[in-house]
């Protein structure tokens, strides 16, 4: 119990500048990542999941972003570090896997040199050793004929192979935390299955923790240990993966699960969540942010200052509206008002 968690996110707020004023895209998020666990951040575009991840890597442009709160990585607050201090951690202790392998790789550099780049920075190794290590890494991420691929350029590889190279770069210095931002979204399903398998395998071997950012609930169900569901900059529900899929409580989680078409079971109609996510600068900052989208649930059922509360050990839910939530009948879903924004 006394063991220090790997990463403690404390009251993190990430605000972007829009027309002179700052608006929080990640609003007061606290989350603890333990060692050797996979935590998924799920939500739709604009919910703040990527903004959260980028702030851990310190990748937001400082002139347009304000990052407040604390990010304690092994006890050190990443937000208080200088760029050069941060550079000693990111790429070495925290690795990142990006969504699109084609844009994440440098088209003018061979695969081998790109992988060695971070080793040059963080580990001082003789050239011979470096190459050996790189080839071992390529082997480890399942690339056939690693000696040949070492000399190839990214455009000579298929999408799945490129993503494997991106993963190899991320794990080159054996980080204790991996941030994977939509690691399989740009890939075909059969390749996606292989990459998921690879990430799981690497996680088991290296005991790395992974923050998995995705909108794909199927990927979450297959990979995550715990899940944080985000809506409009806040965590609305946090629990282990089984609870999220089998006993979800928050109306947003429940609605989301009802709205995906499944290849396993056929539904007649999909659930539609009313309305839209308001743009960042129009977001109401008081009350339950999901309230406008479940208008049939009375206002008195929501909290005025919704809190994330632990309703059972390890299961956190925001706002009290979940206790009164029910899906509307079919009549109501068809009368949705789609007025232009």
- DSSP letters of 165-206? HHHHHHHTT--SEEEEESTTTTS-HHHHHHHHHHHHHHHHHH
Indicate whether 256 belongs to the interface with other proteins (CB under 8 A): yes
Given the rule CB under 8 A, which of 1-9, 27-35, 172-180, 331-339 is the region that contacts other proteins?
A: 331-339
Among 9, 94, 196, 288, binds other proteins (CB under 8 A): 196
Count the helix, strand and coil residues of the chain and give each as a percent rounded to the nearest 5.
Answer: 35, 25, 40
Among 129, 174, 188, 310, binds other proteins (CB under 8 A): 188
Q: By C-beta, is 137 or 288 nearer to other proteins?
A: 288
Q: How far is the CB of 135 from other proteins (least distance, A)?
A: 25
C-alpha span between 335 and 272 (Å, rounded): 11
- Subset of 145-164 contacting other proteins (CB under 8 A): 159
Among 10, 68, 139, 216, binds other proteins (CB under 8 A): 216
Indicate whether 134 belongs to the interface with other proteins (CB under 8 A): no
What's 90's DSSP letter? B
Q: How far is the CB of 159 from other proteins (least distance, A)?
A: 8
Indicate whether 100 belongs to the interface with other proteins (CB under 8 A): no
Among 129, 145, 174, 242, binds other proteins (CB under 8 A): 242
Sign of the CA dihedral with 129 first, then 134, 137, and 143 last: negative
C-alpha span between 254 and 19 (Å, rounded): 35
Q: How far is the CB of 200 from other proteins (least distance, A)?
A: 9
Q: How far is the CB of 136 from other proteins (least distance, A)?
A: 24
- DSSP letters of 244-294? HHHS--SHHHHHHHHHS--SSS--SS-----S-PPPGGG---SS-TTGGGS
Indicate whether 124 belongs to the interface with other proteins (CB under 8 A): no
Q: How far is the CB of 2 from other proteins (least distance, A)?
A: 30
Among 2, 45, 84, 331, binds other proteins (CB under 8 A): 45
C-alpha span between 282 and 319 (Å, rounded): 21
C-alpha span between 79 and 308 (Å, rounded): 24
Among 113, 133, 215, 315, binds other proteins (CB under 8 A): 215
3-state SS, residue 137:
helix
Q: By C-beta, is 71 or 277 nearer to other proteins?
A: 277
Among 94, 166, 217, 235, binds other proteins (CB under 8 A): 217
Residue the block writes with tokens 């944080």: 228
Among 205, 262, 295, 307, binds other proteins (CB under 8 A): 262
What number of residues does the chain have? Answer: 341
Q: By C-beta, is 293 or 318 nearer to other proteins?
A: 293
Q: How far is the CB of 96 from other proteins (least distance, A)?
A: 22
Tokens of 22: 């700052």
Among 2, 84, 264, 331, binds other proteins (CB under 8 A): 264
C-alpha span between 201 and 240 (Å, rounded): 20
Beta strands in the chain (DSSP E): 7-18, 21-33, 38-42, 65-73, 76-77, 94-97, 177-181, 209-214, 226-231, 234-240, 308-312, 315-318
Interacting residues with other proteins (CB under 8 A):
44-45, 159, 188-193, 196-197, 215-219, 221-222, 224, 241-242, 245-246, 255-257, 259-264, 266-267, 269-273, 276, 336, 338-341
């Amino acid at each position: 119990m006394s063991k220090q968690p790997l990463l403690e996110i404390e009251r993190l707020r990430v605000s972007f500048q829009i027309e002179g004023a700052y608006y929080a895209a990640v609003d007061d998020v606290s989350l603890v990542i333990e060692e050797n666990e996979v935590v998924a951040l799920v939500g739709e575009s604009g919910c703040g999941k990527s903004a959260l991840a980028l702030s851990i890597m310190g990748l937001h442009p400082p002139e347009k972003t304000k990052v407040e709160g604390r990010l304690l990585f092994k006890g050190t607050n990443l937000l208080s570090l200088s760029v050069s201090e941060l550079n000693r951690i990111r790429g070495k202790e925290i690795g990142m896997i990006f969504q699109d392998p084609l844009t994440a790789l440098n088209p003018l550099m061979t695969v081998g040199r790109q992988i060695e780049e971070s080793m040059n920075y963080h580990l001082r190794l003789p050239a011979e050793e470096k190459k050996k290590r790189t080839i071992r890494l390529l082997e480890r991420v399942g690339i056939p004929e690693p000696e040949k691929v070492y000399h190839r350029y990214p455009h000579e590889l298929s999408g799945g192979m490129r993503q494997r190279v991106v993963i190899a770069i991320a794990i080159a210095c054996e980080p204790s935390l991996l941030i994977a931002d939509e690691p399989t979204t740009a890939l075909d399903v059969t390749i996606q299955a292989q990459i998921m398998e690879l990430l799981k395998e690497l996680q088991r071997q290296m005991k790395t923790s992974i923050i998995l950012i995705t909108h794909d609930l199927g990927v979450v169900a297959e990979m995550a240990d715990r899940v944080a569901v985000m809506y409009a900059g806040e965590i609305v529900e946090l629990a282990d993966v089984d609870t999220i899929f089998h006993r979800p409580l928050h109306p947003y989680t429940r609605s989301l699960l009802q709205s995906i078409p499944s290849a396993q079971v056929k539904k007649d109609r999909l659930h539609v969540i009313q309305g839209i996510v308001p743009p960042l600068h129009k977001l109401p900052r008081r009350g339950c942010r999901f309230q406008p989208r479940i208008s049939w649930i009375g206002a008195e059922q929501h909290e005025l200052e919704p809190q994330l509360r632990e309703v059972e050990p390890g299961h956190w839910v925001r706002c009290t509206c979940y206790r009164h939530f029910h899906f509307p009948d079919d009549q109501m879903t068809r009368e949705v008002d789609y007025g232009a924004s």
